[in-house]
Amino acid sequence: MTPVPLNPSDPKALLEAVLRANEGTADPRLKTVLAAAIRHLHAFALEVELQPDELQAGLDFLVAVGKATGPRKHEGILLADILGLATLVQLRGARHAVEAGGTEPALVGPFWRAGQPERANGARIASEDTPGPRLTVTGRVTDLAGAPIAGARVETWQASPKGLYENQDPAQADMNLRGRFTTDGDGRFGFVSVRPAGYPVPTDGPCGALLAAQGRHTMRPAHLHFIVAAEGFKVLATQFFDAEDPHAFDDVVFGAVGSLLRRFEPDGEGGFRLHVDLKLERGATRLPHCPLP
Ligand code: BEZ
Ligand code: FE
């Protein structure tokens, strides 16, 4: 075929040329994803009549996200979270399991740490000097029909009553308010903690500037994170939220879906109780990428 010069004033011809250039992508899934990304990016630029300085500003923003990412902080995860993309992808991927009664997922976020300490069921995850009311957590891991899953690995992490994760707070011991548990023969696990507080997402990087430009608040409602993994089941990453938090219906990262709101019940001794049921779908998926060492 005789090559035809590209007509630069014809956006359709340009898009077709870029899509043709993608045709050689060997990995079929990558080819599909790239083609859709190219189509949507071109449509986006046309819709807003994107100007060269605006394109440059957008690229500079992405560079700043990369520069703000390192072993202590993952700004890229934060970006996907504040745009609702992480929540969309997770809820979409789990919709069949949720329709069948599975626990709704919630984003992992940037604060999960590798090597969280293995603890015995019933152990404290809060060091004795952590202030705040006690929270006794019990949980049960089952399949979608309610049959217990023994030997499941349950990871949990949470912010303190001051709204800080231990790695953000020099006043807390290493790995405070974090733990890894194994379910017993009846699928149960449990631990003693303190009632978490809501907190602002990190705003010291470009995502903070974006939230400010949008005139948005920065708060997450108080919550506890869980990641559950068991042989023969898909990994579940989720969170349970304090239904009484002022931001329970207004999470800056859109993770607090209704089915995950819980009342922390008074235990009659000044503390609170929380029970969580974690229902897993059969199958196999890998643990998500762990953002922090
Ligand atoms: C978190 O829940 O740890 C989190 C999620 C998204 C952004 C920041 C923090
Ligand atoms: Fe969190």
To the nearest whole percent, how much of the chain has pLDDT over 90? 92
Give the chain as a 3 state SS string: CCCCCCCCCCHHHHHHHHHHHHCCCCCHHHHHHHHHHHHHHHHHHHHHCCCHHHHHHHHHHHHHHHHCCECCECHHHHHHHHCCHHHHHHHHHCHHHHHCCCCCCCCCCCCCECCCCECCCCCECCCCCCCCCEEEEEEEEEECCCCECCCCEEEEEECCCCCCCHHHCCCCCCCCCEEEEECCCCCEEEEEEECCCCEECCCCCHHHHHHHHCCCCCEECCEEEEEEECCCECCEEEEEEECCCCCCCCCCCCCCCHHHEECCEECCCCCEEEEEEEEECECCCCCCCCCEC
The pLDDT tens digits of the residues spanning 7-29 come to: 768 999 999 999 999 999 999 99
pTM value is: 0.93
CATH class of this structure's domain 75-280: mainly beta
Domain boundaries, the chain: 11-50, 75-280
272-292 residue pLDDT tens:
999 999 999 999 999 998 988
Atom of ligand 1 nearest to the CA of 107: 5
Is the beta carbon of 111 within 6 A of some atom in ligand 1?
yes
Minimum CA distance residue for ligand 1 atom 3: 109
Q: Note the pLDDT tens digit of each residue in 191-219.
A: 999 999 999 999 999 999 999 999 999 99
Does the Cβ of 233 fall within 6 Å of ligand 1?
no
